[in-house]
Structure formats: structure tokens, C-alpha cells
Amino acid sequence: MSVRVAVTRLPHGRDLALPAYATGGAAGLDLLAAVAEPVTIAPGARALIPTGLAIALPAGYELQVRPRSGLALRHGIVLANSPGTIDEDYRGEIGVIVLNAGTEAFTITRGLRIAQAVLAPVTRLAWDEVESLGETARGAGGFGSTGT
């Protein structure tokens, strides 16, 4: 199934390819860095990397921005707010907050595949405030309580 999403290439991203699926079974589209000059991120530092794209999602969808596993494994490059969410009513540029959790500086160059984007349906919640919650075997145990 395909969902049509309107996209605008901003001036600093017009020469870059639109995000695409790397394989027929890929869930995520690769987002490219639309940096004018290389950006070097020191270990422990982060930077907002532009993609040169703005989108209009259809109602009932979000675009999740996630790390690329190869960058995470080989260089410690992760996303500071993973997954990032692009809401259906946001019309600004998609930016990727890249965090260098590695031990060496990492340089982002123009066109580098920096993240992946996954289109996902959104189910909205409606609160049902009650005086008490039903009991379960787990109860209020959390933060590793099931592993002890």
C-alpha cells in the first residue's frame, strides 16, 4: 500500500534525490543531509542537520525519524530524540538531531544518508478517568522488575 505525501524541496536541497527505499522490503526511506559545508560532530556533541525537505502528511499519519543502524554500529551516530515525530500539521523543514555517541569525531557531508523515515498511522487516545485501575499480576512493578 502506498500513501501519497506532498513534498517540497527547499532551495538548499533541490539538487539532492528525494528520500527512497533502499530495497523492496525496506520500511524506511533514507533521509539525506542537505548541509552546505561538512559538519563535524565531536564525541558527545549533537547537531541539527537539515534535509532540504518540507512535507504535508495526510490526516491520521506521522513520519517517524529513526537512526540508521549502520551509522550507529560503525560510528556511534544516533538520533537524540529517537524516534523523532513529524506531525501531520507541521510544514517546516525536516531536521534531524544527530548525536555522536561514539569515541571519534564524525563528519556529515552533503548527501550523506543520516536517518531513515517511516510513515506510520496515528491512533488518537481519549482519556477515561477512573477512580482505580484493574489488578494485574505485575501490578506497579517496573524498571526491570520482571527480570528479577
pTM: 0.89
pLDDT digits (tens, 9 = 90+) for 45-58: 999 999 999 999 99
Say if residue 116's pLDDT is above 80: yes
In a domain, 57, yes or no: yes
pLDDT given at position 148: 60
Domain of 70, in residue numbers: 28-123
In a domain, 81, yes or no: yes
pLDDT given at position 12: 98
In a domain, 80, yes or no: yes
Say if residue 4's pLDDT is above 80: yes
Contact of 9 with 53, CB cutoff 8 Å: yes
pLDDT given at position 114: 97
Number of other CB atoms surrounding residue 139 within 10 Å: 9
Q: Cβ contacts of residue 47 below 8 Å, gap of 6+?
A: 39, 41, 97, 98, 108
**What CATH number is given to the structural domain containing 110?**
2.70.40.10
Say if residue 81's pLDDT is above 70: yes
Q: How far apart are CA 130 and CA 50, in angstroms?
A: 44
